[in-house]
């Protein structure tokens, strides 16, 4: 017999987990939409040439690529930014500009799997395409900030910087930037020695380090200054962190990351301005700013900080079936409850003992159980059991609805 198993790095989400995911996704959508971002969906498969060479050599190797039945070279979605660039070029005349879209879809990467790293994972992006205005930078920060608050996070910081801080380092700028970016992880000494290795001068290394460490107001790039000026007015929690560089080299100005105080898993959101990427298929410069939430980290942080509601069950009541001849009565009550907008299950398996039915309700965390036995049927009453308190009471049939109106 074939073994029932999933591929390494791929996951099933059983209802308990799937409901938590939906809870978070719904909040993301709600907040994104409150700022006027609208949903976009792109296909799982793209022509290979659309995706290849856009992320760097190392990433190209991690792409799921194959030939389809028609001998086309295709690849699975690797992120949502390159598909966005394709969409912007392909439907230039249809899209409202500035184009504000969010996209919440899976991407696939053949990574070495490890804790928190999967081969199929959800990306949650929101971007503003087609304007370089200060307002658009502010809106991206505001929206990320609102999302965190609406999810229930209280103690978090938006670390913020500008890529332009690193523009002064000349030809080695990329390498230097990558080293400085690690300051909070590896510390001053390691940064200095790695800088020294790269540029071959400990004096120069120290100079670079100190420049960033003690960045003078006059050295702060213009846009960053203006953003910081709005910090208080917009109730953001911006914190300038001049070592922050973010891995991806495509950022051109604003960069930011969100860190949660009591969560050690790393930043849960990152973003910035990238003015030279989105136009790649359109053949012209198209400015853009945006962010991506790391969904798996967000889920982990929510779990650790206990931000999920105690009850994610959407079902409110299980109507049990006392016996075959009282099945009709149970069906009737279940239909009635549903008509009144109360999510209701009826126990479906035949000839199950009451104990088994109550266990089912417990397993599905359904808060209330309704029992209609011969006495209840005769007297037009029902017995309702609260599965948390284990209290039960028998009430007239027509008081049933009041009970669930809390």
Q: Can you tell me whether residue 101 is helix, strand or coil?
A: strand
What is the token pair recorded at 223?
Answer: 């846009």
In whole angstroms, how close is the CB of 405 to a second copy at the nearest point?
Answer: 16
Sign of the dihedral through C-alpha 267, 33, 128, 279? positive
- Compare residues 68 and 189 and give the one whose CB is closer to a second copy: 68
In whole angstroms, how close is the CB of 378 to a second copy at the nearest point?
Answer: 21
* CA–CA separation, 218 and 213 (whole Å): 14
Residue 269 zone, left/alpha/beta (φ > 0; ψ -120 to 50; rest)? beta
- Compare residues 108 and 263 and give the one whose CB is closer to a second copy: 108
In whole angstroms, how close is the CB of 255 to a second copy at the nearest point?
Answer: 19
The answer to whether 146 and 33 are in contact (CB under 8 A) is: no
Q: Can you tell me whether residue 108 is helix, strand or coil?
A: strand
* CA–CA separation, 217 and 240 (whole Å): 12
In whole angstroms, how close is the CB of 2 to a second copy at the nearest point?
Answer: 5
The residue among 40, 237, 61 whose CA lies nearest residue 153 is 237
The answer to whether 151 and 124 are in contact (CB under 8 A) is: no
- Compare residues 142 and 193 and give the one whose CB is closer to a second copy: 142
In whole angstroms, how close is the CB of 28 to a second copy at the nearest point?
Answer: 13
- Compare residues 282 and 305 and give the one whose CB is closer to a second copy: 282
- Compare residues 134 and 307 and give the one whose CB is closer to a second copy: 134
Q: Which residue has the tokens 């991407």?
A: 107
Q: 227 exposed, middle or buried (CB, 10 Å; 0-12, 13-18, 19+)?
A: buried
- Compare residues 15 and 374 and give the one whose CB is closer to a second copy: 15
The residue among 400, 399, 341, 396 whose CA lies nearest residue 369 is 400
In whole angstroms, how close is the CB of 276 to a second copy at the nearest point?
Answer: 15
In whole angstroms, how close is the CB of 153 to a second copy at the nearest point?
Answer: 18
Q: What are phi and psi of 396, to 5 degrees?
A: -60, 140
Answer whether the bond into residue 98 is a cis peptide, omega within 30°.
Answer: yes
The answer to whether 156 and 334 are in contact (CB under 8 A) is: no
- Compare residues 51 and 176 and give the one whose CB is closer to a second copy: 51
In whole angstroms, how close is the CB of 36 to a second copy at the nearest point?
Answer: 3
- Compare residues 127 and 183 and give the one whose CB is closer to a second copy: 127
């Amino acid at each position: 017999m074939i073994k029932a198993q999933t591929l390494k790095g791929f996951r099933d989400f059983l209802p308990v987990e799937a409901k938590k995911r939906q809870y978070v996704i719904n909040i993301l959508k709600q907040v994104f939409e409150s700022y006027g971002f609208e949903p976009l969906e792109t296909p799982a498969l793209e022509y290979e040439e659309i995706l290849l060479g856009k992320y760097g050599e190392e990433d190209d190797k991690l792409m799921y690529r194959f030939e389809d039945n028609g001998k086309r070279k295709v690849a699975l979605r690797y992120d949502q930014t390159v598909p966005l660039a394709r969409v912007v070029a392909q439907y230039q005349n249809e899209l409202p500009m500035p184009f504000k879209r969010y996209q919440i879809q899976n991407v696939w990467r053949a990574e070495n799997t490890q804790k928190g790293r999967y081969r199929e994972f959800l990306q949650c992006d929101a971007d503003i395409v087609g304007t370089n205005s200060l307002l658009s930078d502010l809106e991206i920060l505001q929206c990320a900030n609102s999302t965190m608050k609406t999810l229930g996070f209280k103690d978090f910081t938006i670390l913020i910087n500008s890529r332009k801080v690193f523009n002064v380092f000349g030809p080695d700028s990329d390498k230097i930037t990558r080293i400085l970016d690690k300051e909070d992880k590896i510390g001053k000494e390691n940064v200095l020695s790695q800088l020294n290795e790269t540029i071959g001068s400990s004096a120069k290394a120290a100079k670079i380090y100190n420049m960033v460490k003690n960045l003078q107001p006059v050295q702060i790039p213009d846009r960053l200054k203006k953003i910081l000026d709005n910090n208080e007015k917009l109730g953001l929690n911006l914190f300038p962190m001049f070592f922050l560089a973010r891995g991806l080299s495509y950022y051109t100005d604003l960069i930011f990351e969100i860190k949660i105080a009591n969560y050690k898993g790393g930043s849960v959101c990152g973003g910035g301005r990238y003015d030279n990427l989105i136009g790649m298929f359109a053949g012209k410069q198209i400015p853009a700013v945006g962010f991506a939430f790391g969904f798996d980290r967000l889920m982990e942080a929510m779990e650790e900080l206990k931000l999920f509601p105690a009850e994610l069950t959407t079902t409110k009541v299980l109507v049990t079936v006392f016996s075959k001849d009282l099945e009709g009565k149970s069906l009737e009550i279940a239909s009635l409850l549903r008509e009144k907008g109360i999510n209701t299950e009826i126990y479906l398996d035949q000839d199950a003992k009451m104990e088994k039915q109550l266990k089912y309700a417990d397993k599905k965390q359904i808060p209330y159980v309704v029992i209609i036995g011969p006495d209840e049927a005769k007297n037009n009453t029902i017995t309702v059991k609260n599965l948390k308190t284990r209290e039960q009471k028998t009430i007239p049939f027509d008081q049933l609805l009041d009970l669930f109106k809390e």
